[in-house]
Amino acid sequence: MESLVHIRAARWADKDLVALLIADALHPTPLAAWLVPDPGQRCQVLADVVAIWVEHAMFFGDIHLTHDLTAATVGFHRYRPIPPPANYRTRLTDAAGPHADRFDLLDTLLAEKQPTEPHYQLAFLAVRTDAQRGGCGVALLAHHRSRLDRIDLPSWTAVPSGGEHLLARYGYTPRPAITLPDGPTLQPMRRNARHGSSAMPINPARPVDNRWQGFHV
């Protein structure tokens, strides 16, 4: 299946579609229910918050899509500190409303686990609900692995508990888990550089963007 799935870089015109795709995949998960307990608001809030990060990845990372627009990866190039999205606090409040504190807490807990060394952050891997188990996620991970091997940087991500087995097939190993208060458990995972990264260390004098880090669905 991997060889039959065509993958391309997303264009600016794709950003809203990508946000909706991720929100659709995330919507039925326990994490989504924890972030937005109100089911009537959940889908819209998720799409609006994810849209902030999809747009940010257009400037500070990359987005890849399957040819049929059913699956996507969103990642950030953290070779050095990157700024938060423009007007992030205002935009998050507008997008999440009374649920913004939940996203803030997720930010904080994930930031405590994220590496400070230069790395690639796989923020989202999402497959549309009606296309899951069709091989698109596997194809995207194979594509992701080949790109990581070329840039020769470690990679970091966080997945819902139970999702770590697929990532393990692509070189990721688990790190200490994160349990959200009265909520689900997330599993941070790391993939070492294939030959050891020669990138320069992050300058600790510069602020690091540790906002909402994303997850896989």
**Residue 70 DSSP SS3:** coil
Residue 6 CA: distances (Å) to CA of 60, 78, 169, 215: 24, 26, 21, 23
d(Cα 142, Cα 20) in Å, to the nearest integer?
23
Structural domains in the chain, sorted by start: 6-189 (3.40.630.30)
Q: What is the pTM of this model?
A: 0.86
d(Cα 196, Cα 200) in Å, to the nearest integer?
12
Residue 63 has pLDDT above 70, yes or no: yes
Amino acid at 21: L
In which residue are the tokens 């020769």 written? 152
For the ranges 28-32, 126-130, 137-141, 191-195, the maximum mean pLDDT occurs at 28-32
Residue 75 falls in which region: left (phi positive, over 0), alpha (psi -120 to 50) or beta: beta
Q: Evaluate whether 96 touches 211 at the Cβ level (below 8 Å).
A: no
Which of the four pLDDT bands, split at 50, 70 and 90, describes residue 163? confident
Q: Which residues contact 77 (CB under 8 A, 6 or more apart)?
A: 60, 61, 62, 120
Please state which of the ranges 92-96, 194-198, 201-205, 211-215 shows the lowest mean pLDDT: 201-205
d(Cα 216, Cα 155) in Å, to the nearest integer?
14
- Mean pLDDT of the region 90-94: 97
Beta strand 61-66 with 155-160 is unpaired
Average pLDDT, the chain: 87
* pLDDT at residue 200, as a whole number: 30
End-to-end CA distance of the chain: 19
* pLDDT at residue 15, as a whole number: 96
Which stretches of the chain are DSSP H helices? Answer: 15-26, 30-35, 39-60, 88-96, 100-113, 136-151, 164-168
Which of the four pLDDT bands, split at 50, 70 and 90, describes residue 209? very low
Backbone phi, psi, residue 174, to 5°? -75, 150
d(Cα 41, Cα 97) in Å, to the nearest integer?
10
Beta strand 119-127 with 178-179 is unpaired
Copy the structure tokens of residue 66.
């399957």
Q: Which residues contact 24 (CB under 8 A, 6 or more apart)?
A: 43, 126, 128, 129
CA atoms within 13 A on the CB side of 95: 22
